[in-house]
Amino acid sequence: MSIRLEYIVCNKKGEELNRFDIKSDAEAYDSVICAAEDISLLLEPLQKKLSLNEDQIYGISEHLAFQSDAVKLALKQIKKAKLPAKAESESDQPEAETVKKSVTKKATKKK
């Protein structure tokens, strides 16, 4: 008889996304999925604007998370100079704050 250890990565809804035999692979995949969930929070305002459903928003978020190296390169092109302030409603502010808190919590958990 043999024993097989598997690492299962699930989304926030508890749905199985992938299985791994190696713990470090599972943790790397999980970090990308966590990033995708945070990105989806940033994209929620587009949901109404572009008539996207939740699955489409998450699909875009997941794609951006898996393409993180290309996204980082694209974002590096933004100059550090202060950009003109965009008129934002007060309802947009808490969403950005939620993402910051989420990222901060994850960073402190890993330490």
User: What's the confidence (pLDDT) of residue 66?
Assistant: 94
- On the question of pLDDT at 104 being above 50, the answer is no
Average pLDDT over residues 31-57: 89
Extents of the domains making up the chain? 7-70+91-106
Cross-strand partners of 7: 20
Residue position matching structure tokens 């995708």: 36
Average pLDDT over residues 18-37: 93
Q: Express each pLDDT in 68-102 by its tens digit.
A: 999 998 888 887 766 666 655 444 544 555 555 55
- On the question of pLDDT at 26 being above 60, the answer is yes
Give the separation between CA 6 and CA 41, rounded to whole angstroms. Answer: 30
CB atoms within 10 A of CB 61: 21
User: What's the confidence (pLDDT) of residue 63?
Assistant: 94
Give the separation between CA 70 and CA 86, rounded to whole angstroms. Answer: 25
